[in-house]
């Protein structure tokens, strides 16, 4: 017992010495206070004007020395949080420095040959280290997106700070205004942008599509990715203009918001949006809101090509009736039929549009890969093959609509 005790004591003494030594061998290499970091909340990426090259500081390379990437330069605008401008707690009367409506964010703009080049240039201009851990929105201008998104993706993938749940979106026109916009409702503008999208997901206006989802969709062999397509409105609010779908890493098309619903319908995602339906046989119209959508995607191999059949079940409520129509059982049946027809048309249009662009955002290819692996291995195998084949597979869409509820009034 005594022996044991003795060694234990020795052990503890050594441990103590170790502990005392630890701070000596260690510094605080990674310590970087929250207020010393430049929190990047949003980034927008535009194509830089040709003459802006002069603007570029010699940070990552000297002019003319290194072989520069033979691409257009990009203009990167970052939205930085200004510490102290956003008070702790409710209201603004907290500390001494009352923000009083002044900018809580600090948009900075730099140019660069690539993402990391631009970030390095940005870092050169500000004192605190940039921190991308709170990067919530990345806006890419349509111009860039249509050209190539590969390098940008690569940068964000490599950086461990970047979240996979960041929202990436494509802006119509320049992306920079989105970083400079200041909607009044939210204290941090970029959060408003993010909230817009997240609420849209909750309300069924847009499918779940953060950057991680986009990435895994775009690399899948039988599927392509898509991103929200946004536009700044007059009041600095943001309109979801539709979706930008990609072929590989290039944007190829932008369907309208109504077609987002079509996409969600085909994928069977709930809840849905609103649609105006003409009540057959009358002049009045009803507004139908889908609450539940289910879909079943099936395929057969016909003449060496997959032949898809998509069945969509939509359930919903009547939210509004214009003019003086009265709802009755027949009426409702009619509405259901009319709605089904309409929906089918919209769905079909979306599918054929994407087919034209060779961008299978629905992941029909994945169904083939998953359920007919032999056929896939024999005929398709690669992304390119499927992109080609998708253009002329046939997709049959069937829709069924049920009106479940008509609200609080019986008429």
Partner 1 sequence: MRFLRKRSNDGKKSPALPDQLSPDKVLEQYKDRTISTNLEENIKLINSLLEANPDLVTRRFHVFGKYPAVMFYFSNMVDQTMINFDILKPFIYMPPHLEGRKIGDGQLKNILINETIIHSGARLQSNIVRVIDAILEADSVVLIEGVDEAFLFSTRNVESRAVGQPQTEQVIRGPREGFVESLSTNTALMRYRLKTPSFQIRNMVIGKYTKSNISICYIKGIANPDLVKEVENRLSKIKIDGVLDTGYLEQFIEDNHISPFPQVLYTERPDKAVAQLLEGRVAILMDGSPFALIVPTVFTQFYQVTEDYYERPVMGSFIRLSRLLALIFALIVPSLYVAVISFNPELLPTEFAVAVAGGRASVPYPTVVEVFMMETAMEVLREATVRLPKQVGGALSIVGVLIIGQAAVAAGFASPITVVVIALTTIGSFATPAYNAALALRLLRFFLIIMAGIFGLYGVMIGLILISNHLLSLRSFGIPYMSPIAPGNLQGVKDTLIRAPLWWMKKRPESSQPVNEDRVSGQTVQATKEPPDNPLGPKRSN
Partner 2 sequence: MDNTRKITVIQATAVLISTIIGVGILALPRFAVQTAETGAPLVTLLGILVASAGLWLITVLGVRFPSKTIVQYSEEIIGKWLARFGSLLIIGFFAILTSLAAREFGEVVVTTVLRNTPLEVTVIVMLLLAAVSSRHGLETFVYIHYFYLPLILAPALMIVVLSLKNAELLNLLPVMGNEHKELLGGVLTIAALFQGSFIISIVIPHMRRPGQAYKASFMGMSVAGVLYFLIVVATVAVFGPEEIKRLLWPTLELAKTTSLPANILERLDAAFLAVWVTAVFTTLYSSYFLTIHCMSKLFRLRDHKLFSFFVMPFVFFYCDGAAKHSGTLPNHSDCRTDRSDCDHWLSVSAVGGFHHTKKKGYT
Neighbours of 382 (CB within 10 A): 9
Between CA 222 and CA 328 the distance in angstroms is: 45
Give the position of tokens 């339906």: 277
Q: Judged by CB under 8 A, which of 9, 93, 328, 352 binds partner 1?
A: 9
Report the residue number, 8 or 296, with the smaller CB distance to partner 1: 8
Bridge partners of residue 405, in order along the sequence: 317
* Binds 276: which of partner 1, partner 2, none (CB < 5-8 Å by kind): none
Cβ-based nearer residue to partner 2, 164 or 345:
164
Is 228 in contact with 213 (CB distance < 8 Å)? no
**The token pair that represents 35 in the structure block:** 């207020």
Decide if residue 129 touches partner 1 (CB under 8 A): no
**13 touching partner 1, by CB under 8 A:** yes
Among 70, 65, 111, 103, which residue's Cα sits nearest to residue 84?
Answer: 103
Tokens for 4? 């044991």
To the nearest whole angstrom, how small is the minimum distance from the Cβ of residue 87 to partner 1? Answer: 6
33 lies in the site for partner 1, by CB under 8 A = yes
Smallest gap from Cβ 222 to partner 2, in A, equals 9
Question: Cα separation of 308 and 356, whole Å?
Answer: 16
**Closer to partner 2 by Cβ: residue 85 or 217:** 217
Q: Where does 6-125 show beta strands of DSSP type E?
A: 38-47, 74-81, 105-112
In 3D space, the residue among 296, 300, 240, 294 whose CA is nearest the CA of residue 271 turns out to be 294
- The C-alpha atoms of residue 411 and residue 409 are separated, in whole angstroms, by 6
Q: Does the protein bind partner 1 through residue 30 (CB under 8 A)?
A: yes
**Which candidate, 287, 406, 261, places its Cα nearest to that of 347?**
261
| Site size for partner 1 (CB under 8 A) | 41
CB 98 within 8 A of CB 84: no
Of the candidate spans 30-38, 173-181, 252-260, 338-346, the one that interacts with partner 1 by CB under 8 A turns out to be 30-38
Choosing from 55, 59, 61, 87, the residue that interacts with partner 1 (CB under 8 A) is: 87
When asked if residue 23 is in the footprint of partner 1 (CB under 8 A), the reply is: yes
Beta strands at 394-405 and 167-171: parallel, antiparallel or unpaired: unpaired
Each residue 96-115 as x (binds partner 1 by CB under 8 A) or -, in order, gives --------x-----------
Q: How far is the CB of 287 from partner 2 (least distance, A)?
A: 30
From CA 175, how far away is CA 118, in angstroms rounded? 16
Interface pattern 169-188 for partner 1 (x via CB under 8 A): ------------------xx
Is the Cβ of residue 42 or residue 107 nearer to partner 2 in the bound state?
42
Query: Which of partner 2, partner 1, none does 157 bind, CB closer than 5 to 8 A by kind?
Result: partner 2
Tokens of 237: 């609010």
Q: Cβ 89 to partner 2, closest distance in Å?
A: 19
Which residue's CB is nearer to partner 2, number 303 or number 374?
374
Contact between residue 76 and residue 110 where contact means Cβ atoms under 8 Å apart = yes
Q: Which does 369 bind (CB under 5 to 8 A by kind): partner 1, partner 2, none?
A: partner 2
Using CB under 8 A as the binding rule, whether residue 134 contacts partner 1 is answered as: yes
Query: How far apart, in whole angstroms, are the C-alpha atoms of residue 9 and residue 3?
Result: 10
Interacting residues toward partner 1 by CB under 8 A: 5, 8-9, 12-13, 15-16, 19, 22-23, 26-28, 30-35, 37, 39, 41, 81, 83-89, 95, 104, 131, 133-134, 136, 161, 163, 187-188, 191
């Amino acid at each position: 017992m005594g022996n044991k005790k003795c060694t234990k004591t020795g052990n503890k003494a050594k441990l103590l010495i170790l502990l005392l030594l630890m701070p000596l061998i260690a510094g605080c290499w990674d310590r970087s206070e929250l207020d010393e970091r430049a929190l990047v909340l949003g980034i927008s990426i535009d194509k830089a004007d040709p003459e802006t090259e002069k603007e570029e500081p010699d940070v990552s390379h000297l002019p003319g020395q290194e072989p520069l990437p033979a691409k257009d330069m990009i203009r990167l605008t970052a939205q930085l949080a200004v510490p102290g401008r956003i008070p702790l707690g409710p209201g603004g009367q907290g500390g001494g420095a009352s923000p009083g409506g002044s900018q809580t964010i600090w948009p900075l703009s730099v140019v660069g040959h690539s993402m990391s080049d631009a970030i390095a240039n940005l870092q050169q201009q500000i004192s605190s280290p940039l921190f991308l851990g709170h990067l919530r929105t990345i806006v890419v201008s349509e111009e860039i997106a249509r050209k190539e998104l590969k390098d940008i993706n690569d940068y964000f993938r490599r950086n461990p700070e970047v979240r996979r749940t960041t929202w990436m979106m494509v802006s119509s026109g320049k992306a920079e205004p989105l970083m400079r916009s200041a909607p009044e409702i939210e204290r941090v503008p970029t959060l408003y942008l993010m909230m817009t999208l997240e609420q849209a997901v909750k309300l069924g206006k847009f499918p779940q599509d953060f950057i991680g989802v986009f990435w895994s969709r775009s690399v899948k062999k039988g599927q392509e990715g898509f991103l929200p397509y946004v536009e700044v409105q007059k009041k600095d609010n943001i309109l979801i203009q539709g979706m930008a779908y990609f072929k590989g890493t290039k944007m190829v098309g932008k369907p309208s918001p109504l077609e987002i619903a079509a996409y969600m319908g085909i994928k069977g995602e709930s809840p849905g949006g609103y649609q105006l339906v003409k009540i057959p046989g009358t002049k009045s119209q009803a507004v139908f809101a889908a609450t539940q959508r289910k879909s079943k995607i099936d395929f057969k191999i016909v003449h060496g090509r997959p032949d898809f059949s998509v069945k969509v079940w939509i359930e919903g409520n009547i939210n509004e009736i214009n003019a003086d129509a009265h709802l009755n059982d027949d009426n409702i049946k009619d509405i259901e039929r009319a709605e089904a027809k309409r929906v089918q048309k919209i769905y079909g249009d979306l599918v054929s549009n994407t087919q034209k662009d060779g961008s299978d955002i629905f992941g029909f290819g994945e169904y083939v890969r998953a359920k007919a692996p032999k056929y896939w291995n024999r005929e398709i195998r690669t992304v390119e093959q499927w992109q080609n084949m998708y253009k002329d597979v046939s997709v049959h869409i069937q829709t069924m609509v049920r009106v479940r509820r008509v609200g609080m009034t019986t008429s």
